[in-house]
Amino acid sequence: MKALVENDAETGPVVATVPVPTLQPGDILVKVAYAGQNPTDWKHAAWISRAGDILGCDFAGTVAAVQDGETRVAVGDRVAGSVHGGKFNDRGSYAEYLRVPGDLVWKLPAQVELQDAAAIGVALGTSIQAIVQSQGNAFPPAQASGWYFIYGGSTGVGLVATKLAKLLGFKVVTVASPKNFDLVKSYGADEVFDYREGADAVVANVLRVTSGGVKQALDTISEGASLAISARVIVPEGGQVNLTLTPDAATTAAYPHVKFVPKLMYTYMTQEPFSIGPRAGGAVTVPVIPGDREFYAQALTHYTDLYERGIRPPPVVLRGGLEDIPAGFKDMQDGKVSGERYVYKL
Ligand X SMILES: NC(=O)c1ccc[n+]([C@@H]2O[C@H](COP(=O)([O-])OP(=O)(O)OC[C@H]3O[C@@H](n4cnc5c(N)ncnc54)[C@H](OP(=O)(O)O)[C@@H]3O)[C@@H](O)[C@H]2O)c1
Choose between 100 and 265: whose C-beta lies nearer to ligand X.
265
Binding segment toward ligand X, per CB under 6 A, in 5-13, 139-147, 170-178, 272-280: 170-178
Q: Which residues pair with 151 in a beta bridge?
A: 219
Kind and range of the H or E run holding 345? strand 341-345
Contacts of ligand X in 1-60 (CB under 6 A): 38-40
For the CA atoms of 155, 91, 322, 267, the dihedral, rounded to the nearest 10 degrees, stands at 10
**Among residues 155, 174, 210, 230, which is the contact residue for ligand X, using CB under 6 A?**
155
**Among residues 54, 60, 337, 343, which is the contact residue for ligand X, using CB under 6 A?**
337
Which is nearest to 79 in space by CA: 58, 49, 94, 54? 58
Smallest distance from the beta carbon of 318 to ligand X, in angstroms? 16
Instruction: Measure Cα distances from 94 to 6, 78, 209, 249, 293 in Å.
Output: 11, 17, 43, 35, 23
Smallest distance from the beta carbon of 158 to ligand X, in angstroms? 6
Smallest distance from the beta carbon of 140 to ligand X, in angstroms? 22
Choose between 38 and 210: whose C-beta lies nearer to ligand X.
38
Contacts of ligand X in 172-191 (CB under 6 A): 175-177, 180
Q: Which residues pair with 66 in a beta bridge?
A: 28
Kind and range of the H or E run holding 45? none
**Among residues 149, 170, 195, 329, which is the contact residue for ligand X, using CB under 6 A?**
195
224 binds ligand X (CB under 6 A): yes
Please name the amino acid found at residue 83.
V
Binding segment toward ligand X, per CB under 6 A, in 75-83, 108-116, 169-177, 293-301: 169-177
> Residue 225 contacts by C-beta under 8 Å, 6 or more apart in sequence?
195, 199
**Among residues 244, 260, 296, 307, which is the contact residue for ligand X, using CB under 6 A?**
244
**Among residues 144, 157, 206, 343, which is the contact residue for ligand X, using CB under 6 A?**
157
**Among residues 66, 80, 265, 300, which is the contact residue for ligand X, using CB under 6 A?**
265
Within 10 angstroms of residue 11's Cβ, the number of other Cβ atoms is 9
Three-state DSSP state, 293: helix
Exposure of 269 in the CB half-sphere (CA atoms within 13 A): 26
Distance CA 190, CA 206 (A): 11
Binding segment toward ligand X, per CB under 6 A, in 83-91, 102-110, 207-215, 219-227: 219-227
Smallest distance from the beta carbon of 127 to ligand X, in angstroms? 9
> Residue 200 contacts by C-beta under 8 Å, 6 or more apart in sequence?
none
264 binds ligand X (CB under 6 A): yes
93 binds ligand X (CB under 6 A): no
Beta strands 171-176 and 97-101, pairing class: unpaired
Exposure of 175 in the CB half-sphere (CA atoms within 13 A): 26
152 binds ligand X (CB under 6 A): yes
Choose between 30 and 123: whose C-beta lies nearer to ligand X.
123
Residues that bind ligand X (CB under 6 A): 38-40, 122, 126, 152, 154-158, 175-177, 180, 195, 220-221, 224, 226, 244-245, 263-265, 332, 337-339
